[in-house]
Chain A
Amino acid sequence: MDNLFNRKYIVQGLFIVVSLILLGTLFYIQVASDRYFLSAESNVLRKIYTFPARGIILDRNEKVLVQNEPVYDLMIIPNDFKAADTLKPIDTLELCNIIGIDMIKFRKNLKKSTNQSLFQPSIFEGQLSVEIYQSLSEKLSRFPGFFVQSRTIRNYPDSIASQFLGYIKEVSAKEIEKSEGYYRPTDYIGKSGVEKSYETLLRGKRGVVRMLYDVHNVPKGSYADGKFDTAAVSGEQLISSLDIRLQKMGEELMKNKVGSIVAIEPSTGEILAFVSAPGYDPNEMVGRQSGNNYMKYLGAPNRPLNVRPIAGYYSPGSAFKPLDALLGLQEGVIDPNTTFNCPGGFRAGSLWVRCEHVDGNIALRRGLARSCNTYACYVFQKLITQKKYKNQKVAYDEWQKKVRKFGIGDTLGVDLPGERRGRLYDEAYYSGKYSKYWGYSTVISLAIGQGEMATTPLQMANIMAIIANRGYYIKPHLVKGIGTNRTIRPEYLKKNYVGVDAKHFEPVIDGMQDAVNTSWGTAIASRIDNIIMCGKTGTVQNSHGKNHSVFIGFAPRDNPKIAIAVIVENAGYGSTYAAPIASFITEKYLKDSVAVYKRAQIEWMKKQVVLPAEPKPKVVTPKPGDSAKVNTPPAGKQTIKTVIKPKPAVK
């Protein structure tokens, strides 16, 4: 029987079921899914970024190396523009006239921005001048969808130190991904030099204002009373160790030449000059033409983008000889008066290492002053054939470990990207190469800094700093103060001892003093009036052309203020180019000006064109992370041959 009263429950049941359906749906869209919540945020919330000024970089005397210059980018949100345009046509022609483009370009830009994103702002026309910006800002309200974003670009008042400073460019997609959301398209990032190695300090902190917008795109004030907003924080200021005067002079002297100058203050490890020639004007890497200029320099002869002071490989040559003497003294295999005979060369088994002179009986001081190859080879022979070692291989391994303490064969840890290790092999390498049939005579060319040994100009200058300091160095660095507190990384305060007692340095320094200051010295061309400069020339043979001209040294002898390494590629003898250039810079630094009678020489030097003859020597391209690579010689790249001539064995 159909009891009508029971139909009440069907009706009530229906009410309950429908209510549950409603609640279930609500639960899904409100609690289970946050899709709608996020959509709501994107409806009303716009993040407006304020860009911090990038940190400026000063030289050691707080003169500006890099500063910022404001530019204005015209931005567009294509969707807003199109929506407003359909509602009421916008006078785009007027906009074109103001910013100085034609309608074809306008449509091209619009299409490019639309392709990038319909709803996100993108740069419509970049880097407007201040004048255009001013006339535009008055009328901007007539062009919905457009706004102006101010930004700063880098400016280099002296157009110097390009390789040290590096450059900034728009971030790549890969960098954006790697930064885990820090960088956004159109952001700039340091791509090389200090701009890269100090990126996180220089970039500062982007500010963000969260604004609420109503359905008509009218701003309605800040989100949550600005609780989550942040102000832009300018990047830290960096005080570089560089001395603008030296840098400028160095770059002028190296004009039309290929090579490096590195000058270090020995007591602090601060790099005073960091010249890589050829260079480029850093201002060319800024602005609308930067892309083209970058490509121009990328393919230019002698690779101006290479950072030679830390990535160029050169045999140290004679510059290595002070190390022979120092290690010999420390090991006790020689004393300052130990004499060897130089008949014009050194016999090592079947090899004959030629000396530039026939020096006769020669001891340490004169041996260094004359840069006698024979003397160096005898010391090396004594070191490797010491009785205390089981055999020569063990002795060699001990020797190369001691040499490494001088910063050869590994990166020094300078605060620039792309530093390379240089080249120096251990015992295992030679045992692998020659099996057990090798000894001191096989590697004798290392005694004179040739053969399988390569150093960067920075490492050469650092060796001079070690000698100037009588036994230690502080890691060379280019930034001596970060921020207003001028903090310095602790690693750049630590003294690294090389394991040779201070007393052993004096006889070596005597020899280096004589090299510069006596008539029989090889580096007489670098003499400075009233200052005792100590140094060594080097003439590094180059299989691809003329020899490289090298000078290393420091001054003054007591309480040294500057250690320097100068390399001029393909310039012949060290005394012709490298030594005078080093002396000019040293004199400028120590005396504030170069003696008047030398001015003509300086002008002459600036005018010299010393470029490699074809085929030009290829220098290893520095790549980020290159320093981590095993120090195997790049095949077919620049190699420096030692003066080793086989001679019939005559007894």
Chain B
Amino acid sequence: MNTANDATEQPMVRFDGVTKSYGALTVLDDLRLDIGRGEKVAIIGPSGSGKTTVLRMLMTLERINDGVIWVDGEPMTHMEKGGRLVPADPRHLRRVRAKVGMVFQHFNLFPHMTALGNCIEAPITVLGLSRREAEERAAELLDLVGLADKKEHYPAQLSGGQQQRVAIARALAMRPKVMLFDEVTSALDPELCGEVLQVIRKLGSEHDLTMLMVTHQMGFAKEFADRVCFFYQGKICEQGNPQDMFAAPQNERTRQFLRAVMDSV
């Protein structure tokens, strides 16, 4: 069905009527969102509005209740069988998931492995790289995030900012097409945020990665993102390019939220 030409025109990620609920609580309601290839999208919104859930669904950390998530032109949460879409089996899930990587708010580094160990573990066990190849790749990435000299350090011996940069290198080592960042600076002391954001900036300019990031740093969102989505109670309330949206938000809720955030800074 898909010609090669089609594929490049399709969005990198598509949420197609995705619904997620915990029991009676509907966290995301009929979400429709397309993200283009190489696009950088910032997700903002008040706490509990479902931002993290969007990323976790895309990382297959949460099951969805309705709708389909597409990645790189093929369904991820579902697979085609006899011309119909049926829920994906683990094999399909794993194959498509390989295109997505994620960086967590609390780093989630493996504490029993060094920085280098963290970065070569999955390339060796999952991608089947040789140890030498994996180490070369990891060294390059640790260099990219400015930690070439911390290879042999354990996570507990690194500052929060350094740990988060290792986590970014670790995710990149799997060569994902889509990177998800969930409030990656929220757990850091303010003076350490800069070094992490700097790395993300560099990634944005040097790589054709598609990026989705949940952030509370409006300044960074404004300067970095191609598009900003404002979530409110499980729905996209307003979206647009950052200059317009921050300068003149159309929705009353957006206005309120932006005012509250700006005041607190």
The judgment on whether A and B are partners is no
